Amino acid sequence: MNIYLILFFVFLILGVLAFFKIRNSSSEIKFTWQWSFFMGAFVWEDIVIFSPLFSLVSLITYVTGRDKFFVLFLFSFWLIRSLGESRYFMLQQLIRPDFHPHNIDKQFTILKNFFKGLNQQQCFILMQVFYQSIAVMSLIGLIYTIFY
């Protein structure tokens, strides 16, 4: 069995596990960085977004048989993830997001209903990693479109 197919299933299972961990968390952020750092995840909210992304890339790599695609993904992912985390930690030191336009708790209603009982910080984390994932896939799409 190919390593990419194994990775596909591992990340798929992690994504489902993360979904239920968040849903049953009673709006408490639980850190996972001790074992999930390899995928750029620090909390379950990161894992629930990154797992489908890693699953998709593993499946595409398996189907196409192009190891180069997975390597391109890893470089792109870590570029975007590290830039995003740098910005996040910088902003955490400088602002308190409890005033307009940062206090956007009402905008997270759909997300809170889906995961049941998220707090505002969990919503910010989910949105941050969701858009970082979009940026990674966009960068891969751009590079792939230009060079392949």
pTM listed for this prediction: 0.78
The one-letter code for the residue type at 107 is Q
pLDDT of residue 128: 87
Q: Which residue did the predictor score with more confidence, 147 or 26?
A: 147
If pLDDT is split at 50, 70 and 90, which confidence band does 99 have? Answer: low
If pLDDT is split at 50, 70 and 90, which confidence band does 105 have? Answer: confident
The alpha-helical segments, DSSP class H, found in 1-119 are 3-23, 33-36, 44-64, 67-94, 109-115
**At residue 31, what are phi and psi to the nearest 5 degrees?**
-80, 140
Cα 111 to Cα 121: distance, rounded to the nearest angstrom: 12
